[in-house]
Chain A
């Protein structure tokens, strides 16, 4: 514990909002003894946004469980605290030992969302670490990135020494161990990075240069394509059973067990569904054991069974029956983060909610069957109406529906279709409840704007221009039923910026840095978001952001993320794109046979359901 630095931090706390963000000392925080190799894991947003992040909790648990390795946590101070820290000369600090972040061996930063990128620069600057990997000296920590946005690393590649592609449980331990060994044997920073570039899943951006046809290529012996890391069985590592229990009311403030990883429903817009393949389930026995042990250790009154699609777990009903039986009378509840549009989901929701019927959430995504077929969202209007009727008959009074606008091939007819579908859902809901209760029926409709993501069948498509987003939002508003609907949509400018940063290449990093210098940070916070510093930054960098976001690629062009592979072949993604444009759907390979995405073969893994492997083609 660096009590000198903590005293300087503490002196600032009476003057800032929510000092609880900075005090550490929560239940479950690990305090490693000195002397070993130290990693600090940073979530690039405030404490309450990042504290419950499961990926970082897993890595924290893994690193602290290994002799000679230790991990602590850090978050980005809110603007008031950052100003106080700069004025007082207090550097970015870790929570557990209150050490300067710059004094760690590795600074690990997760990449959860494009609009957190300016916060990464804010953190590096507060830590006193040069923003550019090439500007760092021997004494600086190795800056390691990873997470969902690593699948198009180029916009932030310049700021990282190493970016890990794929699952980190084993890889991060190997990287930390390799770094410890390199330091012991006196290797320089660049020797260590050269060696590390041969490790599976590791991308060392400084070893790559812009390629003539677009994208990047290795300048030396680094691999031309970095293949993602993947666990063959997520059951080999138990989830963190004694994670940090925050004092603060944080986002997702509950105990969580990841019950399955991956999703093969094959929605063509969904990056997570493509890059986290294949599906690997934890067994029912393991889930029940881990939930009970984690609740004892944390004292939480809620446990969430997390995944991309928890109702897809082949043993979910058994798991829920066993858990609700054991937790009866304890006041502890089980929650499911996402529901499929079917009767099974409603019966599962009934099983977990007990007396509570707060609200159900479904994602039909598009307003017409034609467009749902294009995106391979294999849900019919009939399914949705049936599911909603069932839920409202069972006592629910609120439902939230997620849609997207700006999907490939979308016309105004599809947008008007959203209005029609919402109207019919509302009618079905009203008919399913007693007349006296009709006033309490609420339908929430949340509409986001599609951003074509890397490593999906729509990666070649450009995003629609901002003016067109605004026009389609108008069409949508005019199509909505007048009463009983809570309509919300994403700000067109936010979606536009997401598009630029998600689809850009290495050239975008200059604009990110300029935007941060112009004052952009916490761009994901509505009250902080503004396009002005970004417009200035793009102008300074000589970039046309609209051209980046709306650019379409030909099949023979090299994509900015072509040197990164999720195991799903480009051939398959293109085939899926062609099927999309012809309105042909594709089945879920976990249940209906292999669809030939090549992930299992390339990565040497299998779909794992209830502890049993399904053969691949």
Chain B
């Protein structure tokens, strides 16, 4: 942080229709919200000066988020409650601002620090039952590895590493709600819908993933798991 800059961390949603936005579209929309909020944002130096802001890990088009994050650097401290209010007024409801707090400049960047994410995956369809899904998941996870094909490339995930917490299957449905925690980072981020789709095809069940929501992004620090805010 340049001297005299203040790093404000913002937690927002990506819900409703906004789940169809790409990461780039969310970033641009929130930068515009911040300008509309007239926050005294810092501007980068260099060839192409722009708002100094940094965003958390990307969400795919179609996936919702309950607690997503970005950092914005201010040149003057605005009381957090006031910044929250101004951002709320200037942001579309689907990207609703939930919380803001100043964080220390030594706090690692959102993309580097965020290593786990929790998801809720809704699985719907005629033959879908909680037991069927749970059984198929046990089989898939028991094999220890999952091959995922995306854009013509095959990626292999070590499930012991990629699934740091137990997968929980809700008892009602369909749609059956499955809670999945996955690890993300440079070694690859397992998409929870890929895991569920594999389970559905193993169980030969006529069902489909109907929605995916990232409910939390998590930071692991010396064995402790915490939220970025």
Binding site for B on A (CB under 8 A): 10, 13-14, 19-20, 23-27, 245, 247-249, 295-301, 329-332, 354-356
Contact = CB atoms under 8 A, between A and B. Distances in A.
B165 interface: no
Interface in B12-55: 16-18, 20-22, 24-25, 28-29, 31-36, 38, 41, 43-44, 46-51
Given A19-B61, A301-B31, A301-B35, A249 B90 contact: no
B12 to A, nearest CB: 14
Nearest to A329: B43
5 contacts: A20-B61, A27-B33, A247-B25, A247-B29, A299-B36
B92 A26 contact: yes
Given A331-B50, A356-B48, A20 B36 contact: no
Nearest to B38: A296
Nearest to A10: B17
B1 to A, nearest CB: 17
A20 B25 contact: yes
Nearest to B45: A355
Given A19-B62, A296-B38, A331-B50, A25 B32 contact: no
Given A14-B62, A245-B32, A299-B34, A23 B47 contact: no
A298 B48 contact: no
B147 interface: no
Contacts of A354: 49
B24 A355 contact: no
Nearest to B16: A25
Contacts of B29: 27, 247
Contact of A299 (B21, B35, B50): B35
A247 B24 CA distance: 9
Interface of B: 16-18, 20-22, 24-25, 28-29, 31-36, 38, 41, 43-44, 46-51, 61-62, 90, 92, 94
Nearest to A295: B35
A296 B49 contact: no
Given A299-B34, A331-B41, A355-B48, 5 more contacts: A14-B62, A27-B32, A298-B36, A299-B31, A330-B43
A37 to B, nearest CB: 27
Nearest to B52: A331
A359 to B, nearest CB: 14
B59 to A, nearest CB: 13
A437 to B, nearest CB: 16
A355 B44 CA distance: 13
A247 B48 contact: no
Contacts of A296: 36, 38
Contacts of A23: 17-18, 20
Contact of B50 (A14, A247, A301): A301
Given A14-B62, A331-B50, A24 B17 contact: yes
A329 B45 CA distance: 10
Given A247-B28, A296-B36, A297-B36, A25 B92 contact: yes
Nearest to A14: B62
Contacts of A249: 24-25, 28
Contacts of B50: 301, 331
A20 B62 CA distance: 10
Nearest to B94: A25
B24 A299 contact: no
A90 to B, nearest CB: 16
A245 B95 CA distance: 14
Given A249-B24, A301-B31, A355 B49 contact: yes
Contacts of A245: 32
A607 B48 CA distance: 39
A247 B49 contact: no
Contacts of B51: 301, 331
A249 B16 CA distance: 20
B73 to A, nearest CB: 12
A414 to B, nearest CB: 40
A329 B34 CA distance: 16
Q: Tell which of A13, A14, A247, A331 has the most Cβ of chain B within 10 Å.
A: A247
Contacts of B43: 329-331
Q: Which 3 A-B pairs have the closest CB atoms?
A: A299-B32, A299-B36, A299-B35
Given A299-B90, A329-B43, A20 B22 contact: yes
Contacts of B18: 23, 25, 247
Nearest to B25: A247
A300 B47 CA distance: 19
Contact of B32 (A10, A20, A24, A300): A300
B160 to A, nearest CB: 31
Contact of B17 (A25, A301, A329): A25
Contacts of A27: 29, 32-33, 36, 92
A12 to B, nearest CB: 11
Nearest to B41: A331
B7 to A, nearest CB: 17
A331 B40 CA distance: 12
A384 B18 CA distance: 48
Contacts of B17: 10, 23-25
B103 to A, nearest CB: 22
Contacts of B46: 355
B211 to A, nearest CB: 9
A288 to B, nearest CB: 18
B125 to A, nearest CB: 14
A470 to B, nearest CB: 38
